């Protein structure tokens, strides 16, 4: 009798776990840590910028799942680059496209915005396009490894010169 009861409880628990709502609905927050591996600097080395300087970033996006496949959000990031030391605070619009309706799924994303900077530069255009995967951690929590192409330009405060940084960004985030 005890074994039948335990089996019955196991069936109920496993069926309730598989029946949980793991879909994307409503509000979300995604926070990500990442590195930017610089692939190009335009103009090429000018005595200040070199292609060898990389960067780090922390990003948070708050948004809304429109349906099982599409979400829109607003994000802010804090990015730093070396060679030279440069800090940027991009504000951007974000969209995600999820390939499957299940919680574990590959996705693509795009960001478009403007980077506010410190130091001797003015901000400029930011865009990023990439792909990732939702790895289920909890009922509505996922680990999100990502790879993307990122472009950010800056302008000197003292002249009309423009600097453009291109990089491959690798990140790991938490989706809530």
Domain count, the chain: 1
Is 11 a domain residue?
Answer: no
Residue 83: the pLDDT is 72
pLDDT at 1 over 70: no
Q: Coil, strand, or helix at residue 46?
A: coil
Is 2 a domain residue?
Answer: no
Is 45 a domain residue?
Answer: yes
Is 12 a domain residue?
Answer: no
The DSSP bridge partners found for residue 39 are none
Is 5 a domain residue?
Answer: no
Q: Which residue has the higher pLDDT, 24 or 1?
A: 24
Q: What is the pLDDT of residues 113-145, one digit of tens each?
A: 999 887 678 889 999 999 999 999 988 899 999
Q: Round to whole Å and give the CA distance between 55 and 103.
A: 31
pTM of the model: 0.81
Parent domain of 71: 24-175
Using pLDDT thresholds of 50, 70 and 90, give the confidence band for residue 84: low
CATH number (domain holding residue 67): 2.40.160.20
Q: What is the pLDDT of residues 55-76, one digit of tens each?
A: 999 999 999 999 999 999 999 9
């Amino acid at each position: 009798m005890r074994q039948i009861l335990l089996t019955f409880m196991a069936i109920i628990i496993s069926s309730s776990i598989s029946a949980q709502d793991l879909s994307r609905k409503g509000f979300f927050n995604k926070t990500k840590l990442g590195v930017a591996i610089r692939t190009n600097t335009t103009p090429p080395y000018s005595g200040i910028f070199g292609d060898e300087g990389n960067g780090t970033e922390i990003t948070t996006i708050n948004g809304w799942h429109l349906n099982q496949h599409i979400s829109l959000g607003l994000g802010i990031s804090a990015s730093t680059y070396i060679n030279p030391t440069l800090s940027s605070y991009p504000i951007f619009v974000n969209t995600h496209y999820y390939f499957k309706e299940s919680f574990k799924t590959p996705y693509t994303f795009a960001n478009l915005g403007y980077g506010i900077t410190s130091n001797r530069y003015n901000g400029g255009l930011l865009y990023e396009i990439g792909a990732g995967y939702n790895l289920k951690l909890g009922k509505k929590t996922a680990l999100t490894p990502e790879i993307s192409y990122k472009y950010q330009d800056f302008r000197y405060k003292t002249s009309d010169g423009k600097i453009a940084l291109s990089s491959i960004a690798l990140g790991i985030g938490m989706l809530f």
